[in-house]
Chain A
Amino acid sequence: MGINKRGVFFSSDAILAMSIIFLVLLIALPSIILVLHQPPQTEVHRDILGAFSSLKVGYVNDTYTKELIASNIITNPNNTILEQIGEFYVTNYSLAQEFANQMLVDVNTNQNIGIWYENRLIASINKTPIESAENVETARQIISGIKEGSSVTGFSARAFLLSASKNDFIFYGGYVGDGAITSRVEYQGTLKKVEMELAINDDFDVYVNGINVGSFQKSPSVYTPIDYDIPIGNFSSGVNTLQLKNKNGNLLGISGGFIKLSYNTENVTNSGQRYYFPGVDGLINIYDGFYIPQNLSSVNIFLHINSGNVAFLNIGNTTVFRNSTQGEQTFSISNSQLSSQLNYQSLVGKTVPLRLGLENVSYFANYSLYTDVFSVTDLSSSMNSNIPSLGVKMISLARNANSKFVEIMLTSPFNRVGLVGYNTEVTPDNYHALSNDSNSLNNSINAWTTKAGNCVCCGVINATQSFASQSSSNKFKFMVVMTDGSMQGTCYSGSNSATADAIRASCEAYDNYNITSYTVGFGDGADSTTLQAMAQCGRGNYYHSSVDEIVNIYSKIANDIINASYAEQTLKFTGNFTTKLFSDSYIEFNYTQPGKPYGSYVSVEKTFSDSVSGNFDILNGSTLDSVKVVSYSGPRWTALATLNNNLVYNLSNYGKDFTTLGDPYFVVLPNNLVSGSNSVTLQTGVSPSNFSAGSASNKIIYTVIQNALTYSPISSYSNGCNWTIEFEDNTNITSAIPGNYSGSNICSYTRSSESYDSNDAFQIAVFNLLQLLDLDKNGKVDSKFTQNDLQVDITQITGIPYAWSTEVQARTWN
């Protein structure tokens, strides 16, 4: 019984266990069956990507596609279907959908099929939405050159200043005249532009190779240049002549300037070893200079000249030519002759003045330069009074002032000074005739005595009579009349007015002898009304001087007189003859040209901050090639130049009589004194002791060597733009870049605005280039160029796979 019970027990356990197993398996059965009945995997999604990525649209045998190609909507038939859909995807999404669906039109399958670009469904053939799918299979493919909202193909551009583009400068001297002026213009290549910057004294016509190409107006002043555009139609590659002819019957004089040639060339010329003189048809009067960088081995001179007057050529202070001609003649001065006259070593590494002129004409001009001046000084008893604040007598200050006046006036050996001391009359012990003997004059000044009386007209008339007897009509004549009180004493019969007589004496001095009268009221007791009237009638100026300023006032008057006389130098010539210097005349310097580093040479023009100084910076990454300062000195001489407080040019090193010295238009500054930030000063002068400010139009021209080549990154497109570019001198140009761009895009690189499209390869490359040429990064391009100079050449490289890529998915689902 027990055994049976145990058997039943075991059997029921087994049945129970089996039932549990059955129950579990029955629950799991549907899943097991489902697994076993998994639908077969499909390859359709992979096939679609494969087919779409291997069939080019140009081969698609489909009317719709052919129409797209025919209508140029599809521009690249070599695109695969996948790429073409991608192109439409970024440029015209609805067209992408339409095209993709058309490509699927012959795909007939029970599968649900869809094509996605990134997360956007482009096309589908489906019976059920993917959202309800239980099983999704995906094939993926990456295509490059696709970025939503961008292009399908990248563009890269590079911008650079064409090496074939070249600018040459032909400099006029500090002064070139007087008459028709001819320049030798040589270039090899295709001329793009000719510009001139001149400070010129009169209106003129321009002749190119003998053909009149236009009339132009004079510059605002001889200190202020103006820019001219010269028509280029009559130029040809090779040697040309450019002549300026006067329009109004006056002789032309150029007080500095240059001709700038912009042209394309494949020739690399090594110019600069020959200095060509400008041709002058009129009166040869050239003030210039030159610069030899190193190792001068020989010099030869060729002059082609026609001058009945003696012409002279001074290099530095050495006269290397002095001759007249019988008609047109040429002169060759050999190196052997020149080497015996010149110390070549002294000509190297600095700017050397050069003067070519006519002796006879210069003689007349120099006579007109020469100045006779009488100092007419009050020696009344009031001048013997003490000045408590200074502890000196007024006569002592007058003596000091006159001594200074003599010193300044006699800086030119051709000037003369006379002394007239007056009280009731002019006595011999207070008089000194016109003289350039400063010792004698100073001795006379120191011997002055005073006594009562203040006959101003007596002093003026005495000086006038002295001029009449001692001076000549072709000299400048001045008198400086000083008094500390009121007019006393009469000079004309029947007159009872000392004031009227003083004024009359001054008027007659000018009217009869061309004597200019400057008057000085010394202290507060002076009759300033009468003195002003005297100065007005005598065409001079009136100065009031406090007791402690008298020396300065006399110094100023002396400088004014010198300036007035020298200012006339280059403007007035007398005589009735003409001379001619031909523009094939030259000086040939043979020297070793310094090696030039490889790179793009960028010339920067920096206008002076004021009439005395300017500054420039050499930034890191730029290598200095050369730097020079150009001077618009007018009728004065460029006399002193400093760089970073180092004196780099001093004309007086070559002599005291500036009229025999040249006047360089530009002074070359030594590279070894150039640092990162630099200051330059420049002064003009008429004598070693007379300096004054120059022109605010002076400029520093420096050339740096730089890798002026820029690239754009791979960008979406390359359209171009109309650029407005501001330069360091605050001028602008507007130019389409590239040159054939005719769209309406506006870009700028100016101080106030830097705008461009960061997706346009052209614009990026140009912007980068402009930044590179903006050496001080102030939004203004340092390298001045005209629209024609802007030979920014852009090479477009198409077909670069765009950096962005897009995932394409083909999905099937059920």
Chain B
Amino acid sequence: MSPKAAGLAKKWGWNHVRVYNDGMPAWKKGGNYTVSTADYVRTGNIVLIDLQAPAAVAAGHIPKAVGIPANQLESAKDKFPDSLTAPIVFYSDNVEESIKAVKTARSWRYKNVTLLEFPGAVEWQKKGYDAKTGPAAAEIIYVRKLDPGEISISDFEAALKTQTIPVIDVRAPSEYAAGHFSGAVNISLDDLPAKLDQIPKDKFVVVHCSTGIRGEMAYLLLKEKGYNVKYLKAGCKCNLDGTYLIWEL
């Protein structure tokens, strides 16, 4: 995308044109912070944290913000959502403090941590956005939206319990042998194209692997072939005794 844009700018008469080829992934890998636009903060399904002291928060904060003063952030780790892909946005009048908060949340392995594109709630109100006075919410509530084709962890566990929905484990046979969900059938992803006839076409089926990567590939393949299918996008580990763990990634 960017080389093409640079080509257009060059053609239109801009002489000093450069491309940051490595792009957003390299920027984040380099430990640099990123920002979200005000409109995204207002409308997105995000976790919004106001880092200011309670008095400043009470004077005016962004409506859906949760108040966690910067100096208490380290000890508030347990309040944050299970899903490491949850978008977390911090804001404060103090830019240094905000940048430090981004580093803290990234060290907890959250992948999408940003700052509001301009500092603080005062700026927010100046731009004509709504603000609320009084104390901000104290608890973080975040419900991740499911991706297309994704089954929620609770629905997946219900399917395991009732055993009425076929569950297909697309991991390798060796992984399956080391422990699997009770009732799951093993058709590894590499065998899937050849073994489509073993999957009922008139029934809703669920596929899973250990991270959701192979599961999603299997889902896309089956969907294209006309199957009624969903996949588990989560981490999971099955033990030989039938016990298991499933966690949000």
Query: Do A and B make up one complex?
Result: no
